[in-house]
């Protein structure tokens, strides 16, 4: 659940903040809002971006479509539209009302298109994620899939909440400040998108980057998370800048009802700003402290002692009957350490398997709550499934019971040593 939540925030946060800033500059008087129902155009572009992202995600799963090529084309168009929009945003329009109107209308359409393109690119990753929750041989209705799906939805909800609160709370701020914040955010995102384009072209040998260019885009891509940090910082600055709006004189109101309405509006704006700041702060916490805690390497418990008699491993039943995971290890003649785990599943059944699986290799398993967890992919296995093939389950290992001992043949263990190299 935590990994899906963090990935969802990572993939959507920049897009959410940019969409809010674009809305601040487009959906307001004098910025095209009075032309052709700008709000409808804005949300139509958002919906179109989501629909196209879903279509591309389905094509990616059902066909051999080259996703890298498609994304590069999308990024090329996005960067081009970004440049055009920034020019229209800062283009002087003092000469003539008709010229101002044309430039404003063009900027509104370009900004809405840009928002749709940003959603198109980032939403693909979101639509592709659910298919990765279901491992081969596993049910799509398992507890783990449900938890991962919940994490995905919570991550999306956090981004949507932050973006909506940011727009609603800062919509009265001066337009030059909103335009400046939007320009800084678009330039940062544009640089990252340019690095992604260069990486694809270099990988396909369309261009041959020199050492300096290669270092440029590789460094940016390896530190792309900082773009999310920058977006959070810009969002927080916008919230603080929104307090610069000049307060009205209370004595200018014609009656107490207008004054009460004004105070209620100010209180609502304050709540939205606090919600936006809290959402962005939690997003920053999720991408830093929560991510670091989640990705910290789990140390496997040490191997427990066991008895080797001839060609057999003998483990007293009294040592493994507590229902917890027990790890054992045996060194093959060539020095390879072969690990296996044992856990009691019920009164008469034990789960015995290698400390490795067909998917993740020999990364190992550990116990968390009432489940067995793969250390690499964080998939949780129900104890009742240990000892059966499928998904990320440990590779089954044969055993038999004799005279209050669990017996495992060394030959059965040694033939699996290729999994531990």
Low-confidence ranges of the chain (pLDDT < 70): 28-36, 64, 92-103, 132-140, 142, 244-255, 295, 297, 378, 391, 421
In whole angstroms, what is the distance from residue 198 CA to residue 213 CA?
A: 9
pLDDT of 252 reads: 62
pLDDT of 31 reads: 47
Q: Which of 100, 95, 86 lies closest to 35 in space, CA to CA?
A: 100
Q: Are 16 and 160 in contact (CB under 8 A)?
A: yes
pLDDT of 47 reads: 92
Going from the C-alpha of 281 to that of each of 126, 228, 292, the distances in angstroms are: 22, 12, 16
Helices within 134-255 (DSSP H only): 143-170, 175-203, 211-222, 225-241
In whole angstroms, what is the distance from residue 123 CA to residue 91 CA?
A: 31
Map residue 232 onto helix, strand or coil: helix
b/e 43-57 (16+ beta carbons within 10 angstroms → b): bebbebbbebbeebb
In whole angstroms, what is the distance from residue 269 CA to residue 395 CA?
A: 57
Residue 286 structure tokens: 């999720």
Spatial neighbors of 118 by CB under 8 A, at least 6 apart, are 15, 18, 19, 49, 78, 189
Q: Are 196 and 125 in contact (CB under 8 A)?
A: no
Q: What are the CB-based long-range contacts (under 8 Å, 24+) for 200-205?
A: 200/68, 200/69, 200/71, 200/72, 201/72, 203/68
Residue spans of beta strands (DSSP E) within 260-325: 307-309, 312-316
Going from the C-alpha of 133 to that of each of 139, 152, 280, 309, 379, the distances in angstroms are: 10, 10, 27, 43, 9
Per-residue pLDDT of 151-166, as tens digits, reads: 889 989 999 999 999 9
Domains in the chain (CATH in brackets) are 2-295 (no CATH), 307-420 (2.102.10.10)
b/e 125-162 (16+ beta carbons within 10 angstroms → b): bbbbbeeebbbeebeeebebbebbbebbebbbebbebb
pLDDT of 110 reads: 87
Helices 97-133/67-90 angle, 10° precision? 150
Spatial neighbors of 145 by CB under 8 A, at least 6 apart, are 133, 134, 138, 139
pLDDT of 159 reads: 92
- Number of continuous H segments (helices) and E segments (strands) in the chain: 11, 10
In whole angstroms, what is the distance from residue 291 CA to residue 339 CA?
A: 29
What is the CB-side half-sphere exposure of residue 146 using CA atoms within 13 A? Answer: 4
Residue 370 structure tokens: 């009432």
Per-residue pLDDT of 298-346, as tens digits, reads: 778 888 888 888 888 898 888 888 888 899 988 888 888 888 889 888 8
Map residue 17 onto helix, strand or coil: helix
């Amino acid at each position: 659940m935590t990994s899906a939540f963090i990935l969802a925030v990572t993939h959507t946060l920049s897009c959410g903040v940019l969409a809010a800033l674009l809305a601040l500059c487009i959906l307001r008087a004098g910025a095209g809002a009075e032309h052709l129902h700008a709000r409808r155009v804005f949300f139509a572009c958002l919906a179109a971006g989501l629909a196209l992202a879903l279509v591309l995600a389905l094509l990616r799963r059902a066909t051999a479509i080259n996703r890298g090529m498609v994304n590069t084309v999308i990024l090329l168009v996005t960067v081009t539209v970004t440049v055009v929009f920034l020019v229209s945003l800062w283009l002087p329009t003092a000469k003539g009302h008709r010229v101002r109107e044309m430039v404003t209308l063009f900027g509104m359409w370009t900004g809405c298109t840009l928002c749709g393109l940003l959603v198109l690119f980032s939403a693909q990753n979101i639509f592709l994620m659910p298919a990765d929750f279901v491992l081969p041989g596993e049910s799509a209705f398992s507890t783990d899939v449900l938890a991962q799906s919940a994490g995905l939805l919570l991550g999306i909800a956090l981004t949507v909440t932050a973006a909506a609160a940011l727009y609603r709370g800062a919509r009265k701020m001066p337009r030059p400040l909103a335009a400046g914040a939007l320009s800084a955010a678009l330039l940062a995102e544009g640089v990252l998108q340019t690095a992604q384009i260069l990486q694809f072209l270099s990988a396909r040998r369309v261009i041959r980057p020199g050492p300096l260019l290669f270092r440029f885009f590789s460094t940016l891509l390896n530190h792309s998370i900082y773009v999310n940090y920058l977006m959070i910082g810009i969002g927080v600055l916008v919230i603080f800048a929104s307090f610069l709006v000049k307060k009205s004189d209370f004595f200018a109101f014609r009656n107490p009802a207008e004054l009460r309405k004004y105070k209620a509006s100010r209180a609502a704006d304050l709540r939205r700003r606090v919600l936006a700041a809290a959402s962005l702060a939690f997003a920053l916490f999720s991408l830093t402290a929560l991510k670091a805690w989640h990705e910290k390497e789990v140390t496997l418990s040490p191997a427990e002692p066991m008895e080797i008699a001839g060609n057999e491993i003998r483990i007293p039943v009294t040592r493994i009957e507590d229902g917890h995971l027990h790890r054992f290890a045996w060194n093959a003649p060539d020095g390879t350490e072969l690990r296996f785990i044992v856990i009691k599943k019920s009164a008469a059944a034990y789960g015995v398997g290698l400390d490795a699986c067909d998917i993740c290799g020999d990364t190992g398993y550990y116990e968390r709550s009432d489940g067995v967890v793969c250390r690499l992919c964080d998939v949780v296995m129900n104890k009742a499934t240990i000892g059966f093939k499928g998904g990320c389950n440990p590779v089954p290992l044969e055993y038999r019971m004799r005279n209050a001992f669990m017996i495992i043949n060394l030959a059965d263990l040694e033939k699996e040593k290729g999994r531990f190299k």
